[in-house]
Chain A
Amino acid sequence: MEILIYGIVNSFKLILIAFGFTLVYGTSRLPNFAHGAIFVFTGFVAWIMMHKLNLPFLPAALLSLACAALVGVVIYQFILKRIRGMNMNEIIATYAIGVALIETFRWLGFKGTTFTLPVVKEGVVFIADVPVDYQRLMVVAVGLVMLAAVWAFTKFTRTGRALRGIAQDERAAMMLGIDSDMTATLAMALGSALSGLAALMLFPLGSIVVEAGYNTLIFALAVCMVGGIGSWSGTVLAAFVLGFLQVVTVTYLATHFQMVVTLAAIIATLILKPSGFFGKHKELEERV
């Protein structure tokens, strides 16, 4: 029972972490390796706003999300736009930005375990005799809301549909008047804000540490690769598989094997089905 409940919670953690990455890659073919750095960045920005500027939680959270989105926009407008289409360069550039961002925080003295974000609400409930704190329930709730919101956005809004279009066939979308730079900027902003949202939900469970930036990126990559990079349903499914796998590992082996299992999952995926669960073929098969 414990495994079931914590497995679900852990899966939603992974969904929160990975969804932003998958969204950006799925819609704009941009591998945002600064994803983990934006995660940490949002955490520290929120911390600074709350402790140095004395803002209450909600405005600080919203502002830090806006900052995360802004970082995404800046990364696209000033760097990715120029090298778009060269995947290797995109990876190197975004990873470099990520490392620079993370290490800047370390250099500024943001290290150790003294930086924490508050939980939204203190307290514990018992679900089938398993204690679950409110924050972990919030993770699940926010995860669900986020999935629903993204789904509704792409289904029912003009801009969301433009993202769906450009994700499936960039050129065909262009011919219909959709600006690929606009959608890519938007995707980066959204993806970064989602990474920030994950940070705001997950950091209260521990403390803000710079190393989380690297771990988050690896987890996000693992989920995306197992699920089929860029596939949304694949990401959710993979998050559940890996989420439960991690919890089982932690329960029966030891906490530090969590990363081993995650990386093993990447390797297994690459050997067995390199495109992941729902890796997509973008070409529309010609039918005559």
Chain B
Amino acid sequence: MLAADGLMVFYENMLALNNISLRCHENQIVGVFGANSAGKSTLMYTLSGIILDQKIKEKMRGGEQITVMGEITFEGREISGLRPHLRARLGIVLCPERRRLFPESSVMENLKIGAYMATRQESRDTLDYVLEIFPPLEKLLRRPAGFLSGGEQQMAAIGRALMAQPKLLLLDEPLLGLSPAYQQVVMEAVKRIREAKKISIIVTEQYARPVIPIVDYAYIMENGSGVMSGSGQELLDNPDVKAAYFGV
């Protein structure tokens, strides 16, 4: 479904992504693990096209020069030059790191803004679905998103991304700063979303333990390079990986 080949991203001379290739098939959950600054977010920005927007803005300001190379094909279509909102229209929706909800809008309005590309019917159905997988949101619909706790924000953010009717959902560090209980809720929801919506999901995380049970395939990144990949079990069985990413 999504194939990325030879992705390279430079911030000025700093190599942020070094020749990353990644596959995500129909209805798969793919994990990308790595420490801070391994390039996970850059990878997500590159897949979603936000990097192009960054590049244009930096150039305007006379700031950093960002160079992006490599090929991304989505459903057989070359998309590496496509701007982010167009990629979203094809079905690649990023749920960004730190959630980035619209803070002054209520949760309901966040969800409705998310439904920008959806038809009325899709919007209604998805809203029901979001409340079904995240029941706590029901009570919070009228509250400004800026006043939610981290876990509540994450549920709202995933809900908002679902409202955009993704075919490929990119989740950038969805567990960041969440309590173990909320981590459980979010991971359970991700699993259910894949089963119910038949979509593909790429999820990044620093710490692989809570995510590994639900992924079909995973990549490990270090300093912008892909160092290893394999199914969840293969990575679990690898002693080096185990020490670095699962905590012994």
Chain A residues within 8 Å of B, Cβ to Cβ:
83-86, 158, 161-162, 164-165, 168-169, 171-180, 280, 284-288
> What residues of chain A lie closer than 8 Å to B85, measured between beta carbons?
174, 177-180
CA distance A97 to B211 in the complex (A): 55
Minimum CB distance partner of B179 in chain A: A288
B23: Cβ under 8 A from any A Cβ = no
Q: A175-B84, A178-B85, A287-B150 are in contact. Are A162 and B116 (CB under 8 A)?
A: yes
Contact yes or no, A174 B53, CB < 8 A: yes
Pick the most buried of A164, A179, A284: most chain B CB atoms within 10 A of its CB. Answer: A284
* Chain B residues within 8 Å of chain A by Cβ, number: 41
Pairs of residues from A and B, 4 with the lowest C-beta to C-beta distance, nearest first: A177-B88, A288-B177, A165-B113, A168-B102
> What residues of chain A lie closer than 8 Å to B53, measured between beta carbons?
171, 174
Q: What are 11 A-B contacts defined by CB distance under 8 Å?
A: A164-B102, A164-B113, A171-B96, A174-B50, A174-B53, A175-B161, A175-B164, A176-B88, A176-B113, A179-B85, A288-B150
Contact yes or no, A284 B100, CB < 8 A: yes
B112: Cβ under 8 A from any A Cβ = yes
Q: A168-B102, A174-B53 are in contact. Are A162 and B48 (CB under 8 A)?
A: no
CA distance A178 to B153 in the complex (A): 21
Given contacts A175-B164, A176-B113, A177-B117, 12 further A-B contacts (CB under 8 A): A85-B57, A161-B116, A171-B96, A172-B102, A174-B88, A176-B88, A176-B93, A177-B88, A179-B85, A284-B145, A286-B150, A287-B148
CA distance A237 to B150 in the complex (A): 33
Q: How far is the CB of B65 from chain A (nearest CB, A)?
A: 15
Contact yes or no, B153 A287, CB < 8 A: yes
B81: Cβ under 8 A from any A Cβ = no
Q: How far is the CB of B155 from chain A (nearest CB, A)?
A: 13
CA distance A165 to B112 in the complex (A): 10
Q: Which of A83, A161, A173 contacts B109 (CB 8 A)?
A: A161
Q: B93-119 toward A: CB 8 Å interface, digit per residue (1/0)?
A: 111101111111100010011111100
> What residues of chain A lie closer than 8 Å to B145, measured between beta carbons?
284
Q: What is the predominant secondary structure among interface residues of chain A facing chain B?
A: loop
Q: How far is the CB of A147 from chain B (nearest CB, A)?
A: 18
Contact yes or no, A175 B50, CB < 8 A: yes
CA distance A177 to B89 in the complex (A): 6
Q: A171-B96, A284-B99, A287-B149 are in contact. Are A158 and B60 (CB under 8 A)?
A: no
CA distance A84 to B61 in the complex (A): 9
Contact yes or no, B60 A171, CB < 8 A: no
Contact yes or no, A168 B103, CB < 8 A: yes
Contact yes or no, B101 A172, CB < 8 A: yes
Contact yes or no, B114 A84, CB < 8 A: no
Contact yes or no, A285 B146, CB < 8 A: yes
Contact yes or no, B113 A162, CB < 8 A: yes
B167: Cβ under 8 A from any A Cβ = no
CA distance A86 to B161 in the complex (A): 30
B160: Cβ under 8 A from any A Cβ = yes
CA distance A79 to B195 in the complex (A): 48
Q: How far is the CB of A104 from chain B (nearest CB, A)?
A: 29
Minimum CB distance partner of A82 in chain B: B60
> What residues of chain B lie closer than 8 Å to A177, measured between beta carbons?
85, 88-89, 93, 116-117, 164
> What residues of chain B lie closer than 8 Å to A169, measured between beta carbons?
100-103
> What residues of chain B lie closer than 8 Å to A288, measured between beta carbons?
150, 177
Minimum CB distance partner of B114 in chain A: A176
CA distance A280 to B144 in the complex (A): 14
Minimum CB distance partner of B89 in chain A: A177
Contact yes or no, A175 B150, CB < 8 A: no
> What residues of chain A lie closer than 8 Å to B160, measured between beta carbons?
176
Q: Which of B60, B100, B104, B149 contacts A172 (CB 8 A)?
A: B100
> What residues of chain A lie closer than 8 Å to B84, measured between beta carbons?
171, 174-175
Contact yes or no, B96 A161, CB < 8 A: no
Q: How far is the CB of A152 from chain B (nearest CB, A)?
A: 14
Q: A171-B50, A179-B85, A284-B100 are in contact. Are A83 and B117 (CB under 8 A)?
A: no
Minimum CB distance partner of A172 in chain B: B100
Contact yes or no, B61 A164, CB < 8 A: no
